[in-house]
Amino acid sequence: MEELNVRISASPHVRSKDTTSDLMFDVIIALMPATVFGIYQFGTHAAILVAVCMITALLSELIFQKLVKKTVTIKDCSALLTGLLLALNLPPELPIWMAILGSVFAIIIVKQLFGGIGQNFMNPALAARCFLLLSFSKQMTQFVYDGVTSATPLARLKMGLPIDMHKIWEMFFGNTGGTIGETSVIALLIGAAYLLIKRVISPKIPLIYIGTFAICIAIYAAVVKDYNVLEFTLAHLCGGGLMLGAWFMATDYVTSPITPWGKVIFGVMLGLLTFVLRIFGSGAEGVSYAIIISNLFVPLIERVTAPKPFGAGADVKKNEEAGKKEKNKAKTNNTEEDKQSDGRKNTDKSNDSGKNVGNSKEKTHFDMKGITKAVIAIFVITLVMGAALGVVYGVTKKPIEDVAAKAKQESYKEVFPEAAEILTPEEGSLDYKQINDLISSFGYPDDTIDEISFAVNEKKEVIGFIVVVTNKNGYGGDIQMVVGISKEEWKLTGLAFLSINETVGLGMKAKEKEFTDQFAGQPVDKFDYTKTGSTSPNVIDAISGATITTSAVVDGVNAAVTISILVLGGDSNE
């Protein structure tokens, strides 16, 4: 008899020839158009950031696995991909050490500490980006294009500034500011097409994500704001990291659902969260937070949408039919003994049938125990992440505060050089809420008085005041300035800035002495500005091409002047 050569193996019995490294390498290839364009667009520093992130991610994984004596997995290319994705989500001028910190956080904290590839609970690159955003918000929101720091198209939309079709075409091709890899929609779509052709990803999640978001944006534009629906929707689709997130990060195998209906729920959740965060959140972008928040819900989504196993429920039907046959058989028996015997059989079989039915119902019943475990796991993960962020915040808080305090003292000396010492009242001694309510009632609702200090001479006599004021109407956001006011002559002694993020070459000229010196030595009075040349002491020459910045600075100075007149005892010349 001929012997059969049968090979026995564990499931799965149907295997793909594609390996993890093949899939990762395909995604890296797909990201090359956006990477090359980003380097071409933003220059050498962008190229350095890409290289640094990829190398740091690779070394972090290698060193960590060596230290904990785990199998080294750097050949699967997943660390390289994480580093590349993180780099493409960074501003082109970010300090290199911050990029290194982000890469280490992505690999060690988010990936390796939770078991390595296949075990991470959220996208490591996006988790690292959000970590950097929370830790270094100023550096992570400064975008340079063509040598000029300016607001991104999404930031302009957030401020209510219009974007026409010409600007939308620039956003589509990538001729605008943003992170290294997000600006060129066409480059990202070329990469997405490659992944779809190679069947590395399914189009379901990206299309549902983008579609849900587009519908919400269109409804908002038409119903709430009465904007041009087409232009507003296209601008949001082409702006920010939507395309990068939808095609390359929301489709991550580990952190996205695998069930058909799970993909639908996941895509809808992503679209809704991105809409809410972009429109109603404090920042202009929302993709990163939308994806990592949705990643946390993937275990619950998969548990709820898990398909019914093949053949489930068949045992119930079989037992019911067996029960009916036994009952019919019992009716044909003539003797009481046979009836009793059959009755016992029927009873036993009915009990068995009941048990089977009960077991089947148990299998199909909503698994509250499993859901409870998943919720606890998410809570623990969130707790660990919060603790990690707290540690970083604790380490960096004191140095950051020291730098800020030093910069503030230098600004104080700059605006009031005659002062021997600057004294700041104890916290709570001045009611800033009442002060700002007063400022608002006098026509400065967009200005906030942050601090009032006293300039004293060597005899500890008050010779003037220093007012820290913030105006929120700058072109690039809030402008925080320091205004010095002399008590003896009731004149401005100087103007300096603690925080200003205006366009380089335009609004940033506000920091130059040619502009700030116009305020020094002027009487305490209401200031104005002109574009045609100043003809009186309290009229300032506007910065050419930066009227918005000029107006914000003048309003801030006027708010400080108003405080000196109303609260500190200054005299107006009006």
What are the tokens at 404? 């800020």
Same domain for 121 and 167: yes
Does 110 map to a domain?
yes
Which position has the higher pLDDT, 193 or 413? 193
Does 274 map to a domain?
yes
- Tell me the mean pLDDT in the region 382-386: 64
What are the tokens at 494? 């100087």
Same domain for 68 and 152: yes
Same domain for 482 and 422: yes
Same domain for 241 and 101: yes
Q: Is the dihedral of CA 452, 455, 459, 463 positive or negative?
A: negative
Does 514 map to a domain?
yes
- Buried b / exposed e over 494-504, threshold 16 CB at 10 Å, is bbbbbebbbbb
What are the tens digits of pLDDT across the range 459-497? 888 888 889 999 988 887 789 999 998 887 788 888 999
Same domain for 325 and 296: no
pTM: 0.60
Same domain for 254 and 149: yes
What are the tens digits of pLDDT across the range 176-192? 888 999 989 999 999 99
Phi then psi for residue 455, to 5 deg, are: -90, 125
Q: How many CB atoms lie within 10 A of CB 426?
A: 6
Q: How far is CA 501 from CA 166, 276, 425, 448, 468, in A?
A: 25, 26, 29, 17, 17
Are the beta carbons of 556 and 514 closer than 8 angstroms? no
Same domain for 132 and 59: yes
What are the tens digits of pLDDT across the range 23-32? 999 999 999 9
What are the tokens at 280? 């109603």
Does 538 map to a domain?
yes
pLDDT, position 381: 59
3-state secondary structure of 499: strand
Number of folded domains that form the chain: 3
Does 240 map to a domain?
yes
- Tell me the mean pLDDT in the region 445-458: 88
Same domain for 318 and 300: no
The per-residue pLDDT of the chain, averaged, comes to 81
pLDDT, position 150: 62
Domain boundary among 364, 398, 433: 364
* Domain housing 138: 20-305
Lowest mean pLDDT among 15-19, 178-182, 264-268, 487-491: 15-19
Same domain for 544 and 487: yes
Predicted confidence (pLDDT) at residue 213 exceeds the cutoff of 90:
yes
- Tell me the mean pLDDT in the region 69-76: 90
* Percent of the chain clearing pLDDT 70 (strictly above): 79
pLDDT, position 149: 59
- Residue 541's nearest CA partner among 551, 555, 529, 556 is 529
- Tell me the mean pLDDT in the region 235-262: 91
> Which residues, at least 6 apart from 141, have a Cβ–Cβ distance to it below 8 Å?
91, 133, 283, 501
